[in-house]
A and B are shown apart, each in its own frame.
Chain A
Amino acid sequence: MPHNTVAVVGAAETTELGVIPGLSQIGLHADAALNAMADCGLKPADIDGIATANETPVQLAHYLGITPTWIDGTSVGGCSFMIHVRHAAAAIEAGLAKTILITHGESGKSRVGAPPRSVHPASLNGQFEQPFGPMGPPSMFTIPVLRFMKTYGVTVEQIARVAVVQREWAGKNPRATFRSPITVDDVLNSRMIAYPFRLLMCCLVTDGGGALILTSADRARDFPTKPVYILGTGESAETPMISQMEDFTSSRAFRVAGPTAFGEAGIAHKDVDHLMIYDAFAHLPIYGLEDLGFVPRGEAAAFIGAGNTAPGGSLPLNTNGGGLSYMHSGMYGMYALQESVRQMRGIAPAQVPGAKISVCHGVGGMFAASGTVIFSNQAP
């Protein structure tokens, strides 16, 4: 895909984030979509492409009054929205649609109008994982970590540090759910969830949503917002079962999606000014930094510990506070994308001065899928 030919022109989150009992799942999608349309001065009649996850694009098109010529219902967990951006950019390139809306909404905390969470007992997960007592991501996404720690000599204190650094970023963000500073001791003294993971090493559970509007770079110049160009994208999938991950110290999906995006963008790691790595749990930024090639194998925990990803560091990471402190409705990827867009527009609460390139990397399921988007605010 040629880079720099498609741009984000509209971007917004739901009016509120956190606990929103007054909106159902589809209502959160719609609130975010209306905010994104208002952001760039569009109406539903101006939208001809729609992509979403959890809800179907049919539901959204009908609910919002959109007649699409292109739809995408890719729903592979929290990175679905990175993958929607990739597909949308290709669709605009190919002329399948001109103006594409991507929405996310999730009543993760209040569970209003949300589909039940269940694993079918005849699925492979239902037959070969559920009988052994996992209950959701905190008890499964964390299973590879003891193997990672043994392989590279990483300590639980180093993993706890990830949450501490992200709280530093959250402290700068008025919309973050948790803003008070924490220490490694605070993390290690928080309630044990699934050894070696304690509460503060796990993401929030909140309600919210977000939406993006993409169009061609040529048309983007006519919008009131500062265009954020898409330089490169990548996607991949590995396994729905955490037990069947090829290598417990590395995500194959990350290793495919990340380099694909870097290759498309034609950039090197040193060109990256700002980075988002989906952090449902504190080990994910460590896996992401290594699998995307920012640091050599086994060195990410020390890299974070040395302050490189903290405010003032050389590689600002998860500058909204991340899923650990900002918000996490269940499919966090949209919020990571929103923060990358804010950074490229120059309007983030914890703005990285002069940032020109932002990498936004997502995970879907539990190392099941991945999507990467590389943004720039530099005109083609």
Chain B
Amino acid sequence: MATPGRALPQPTPETQHFWDGARAGELLLQRCDDCSKVYFPPRPFCPACASRRVSVAKASGKATLYSYVIHHRPVPGFTPPYAIAVVELDEGPRMMTNIVECPQTPEALVLDMPLEVVFEPQTDSISLPLFRPAKG
């Protein structure tokens, strides 16, 4: 589905750990040490209670398909039609992604279907977390 040329993230000091994790094949979330909130996207404090005491933890990589569109217009790096999806991680947060190893059709993309993360290298420093139908 993906071809060279898609938009790539430019990490900032607050998000570098996430992208380092993705390059190493780990989906990293943050968890508040004070109120236990697990959150995304990354920031060095808790969006629920403003505590700066937060830890980085590896997520299970398990998720379900929360919602999506199947885009029919050309975008650099993509061959339409392709799904732009939001998944709900088992840990709670949601994230935008693409669904791979799956036909990009309404019949194959069923809401709440179980998914698992895979990492697709884009450059030496950036791998993107994508999701595929769960295999077990």
Q: Using a CB–CB distance below 8 Å, which chain A residues touch chain B?
A: 119-122, 124, 126-135, 138-140, 142-147, 150, 191-197, 241-244, 248
Contact = CB atoms under 8 A, between A and B. Distances in A.
Interface of B: 6-12, 15, 19, 40-41, 66-73, 75, 77-78, 81-82, 84-86, 94-98, 106, 111, 122, 128
Contact of A131 (B6, B40, B41, B81): B6
B76 to A, nearest CB: 9
Contacts of A144: 67
Contacts of A248: 66-67, 86
Given A131-B9, A147-B111, A150-B111, 16 more contacts: A127-B11, A128-B41, A131-B6, A132-B84, A133-B6, A133-B82, A134-B84, A135-B75, A140-B84, A143-B86, A146-B67, A192-B72, A194-B69, A196-B106, A243-B94, A243-B95
B9 to A, nearest CB: 4
Nearest to A195: B70
Given A147-B66, A248-B66, A131 B7 contact: yes
Contacts of B68: 143, 146
A224 to B, nearest CB: 48
Contacts of B122: 131
A122 B10 contact: yes
Contacts of A130: 7, 9
B7 A195 contact: no
A144 B98 CA distance: 15
Given A127-B9, A135-B75, A244 B94 contact: yes
Contacts of B98: 132-133
A196 B69 CA distance: 7
A146 B111 contact: yes
B67 A132 contact: no
A196 B12 CA distance: 35
A134 B77 CA distance: 11
B96 A195 contact: no
Contact of A122 (B12, B73, B75): B12
Please list the 3 inter-chain residue pairs (A to B) with the smallest Cβ-Cβ separation, ordered nearest first. Answer: A127-B9, A195-B70, A121-B10
B69 A142 contact: yes
A239 B112 CA distance: 23
A133 B77 contact: yes
Contact of B7 (A121, A124, A140, A143): A121
Contacts of B75: 133-135, 139
